[in-house]
Amino acid sequence: MKNIIPNSKPGKAELIPITSMQKYLVKEGYLIPGIVTVVFVVLMFVSVGMPNLYEWLIASYIAGAAFYFVYRLCDKPKPWWVLFCSGFATCVILASPILLLFIIVFRGILPGNVSDNLEQLTFPVLFIKMFFGAGLMEELLKALPVFGCMWLGQRLRSPRREQVGIWGPLDGILIGTASGVGFTMFETLGQYVPGMVENVTELLGEGLLGLGVGYLAGLQLLIPRILGSIAGHMAYSGYFGYFIGLSVIYPHDRWKILGVGYLSSSLLHALWNSTGDSLIILATVGAVSYAFFVSAILKAKEISKLPIKLR
């Protein structure tokens, strides 16, 4: 620390700290998150009385904050537009006939039909259905943008190949987590929240009371679903992304690595979906999923520091 000279006068840097701290504001990641927060606060004020826009803003901010936490934890630069495209691509897939094809295979041909009366099923039967109909289906779907980036990276020229491609576990984690954000946003805002609002409105009527309580119930569902994605969809797809990136640096064991990642992420996903009756077990499964995810990030950072020939 610089010694303070007795009886000396404060200079411009001390009286106006921003004049000497400008480069650290962006470099240390302090400036942009604060500015984004201020922008969202202003937009939320503007959207008062417009519940759909308000819900979208709340979901975007929470999802962005959760992803930013993961991004900082990975400490790996990846262009924002690549990450955004990953999440957007997942939304496009969910809105396309590709989803129907996945449903036919995993919930029609394979024993993954989750439209049955699930409350009456035993845990083993429910787990099998969730493993095929939610775990295997959704984790493969969310991995499509990751595989797409891996394919593109091998065909683009520098510097785009380094920016877009999957060259290690950290790349896979970031692209996979971004895909998980897109999936969570689409599923929550396109299915669960509107469904909750509709159910409550039908129960109480379409008057102001019914709509008000319906939107409140939707908001109460939205917040834990988006915030919990860091131990849910973001964690599962990021964890699988770790293995996709790992398969790039160990090409001779690619299929074994991909198989382990696909099955383990799907098992965690299915376990979460199957234990909703017990809050204690559900919290435990969520904590375990988060621990698996963070462990993968830490191992990926360790691998990234190794010389290529030792990987």
Q: How many Å apart are CA 118 and CA 279, to the nearest integer?
A: 17
Handedness of CA 292, 293, 296, 298 (dihedral sign): negative
29: alpha, beta or left? (left if phi > 0; alpha if psi -120 to 50): left
DSSP string, 32-101: HHHHHHHHHHHHHHHTTT-HHHHHHHHHHHHHHHHHHHHHHHHT----HHHHHHHHHHHHHHHTSHHHHH
Angle between helices 137-153 and 169-187 (to 10 degrees): 130
Residues 214, 197: contact at Cβ < 8 Å? yes
Q: Which residue has the tokens 């493993």?
A: 131
Three-class SS of residue 310?
Answer: helix
For 234, the token pair is 């973001």
Residue 241 pLDDT = 97
Residue 40 pLDDT = 93
Among residues 151, 148, 165, 146, the alpha carbon closest in space to that of 244 is found at: 146
User: Which pLDDT tens digits describe the chain residue by residue (311 residues)?
Assistant: 455 555 567 767 676 776 666 677 766 667 888 889 999 999 999 998 888 999 999 999 999 999 999 999 999 999 999 999 999 999 999 999 999 999 999 999 999 998 767 777 888 999 999 999 999 999 999 999 999 999 999 999 988 999 999 999 999 999 999 999 999 999 999 999 999 988 888 888 777 778 888 889 999 999 999 999 999 999 999 999 999 999 999 999 999 999 999 999 999 999 999 987 788 998 999 999 999 999 999 999 999 988 765 45
Angle between helices 279-304 and 51-74 (to 10 degrees): 50
Cβ count within 10 A of residue 14: 11
The model's pTM: 0.90
Three-class SS of residue 277?
Answer: coil
Residue 94 pLDDT = 96
* Cis peptide leading into residue 159 (ω within 30°): yes
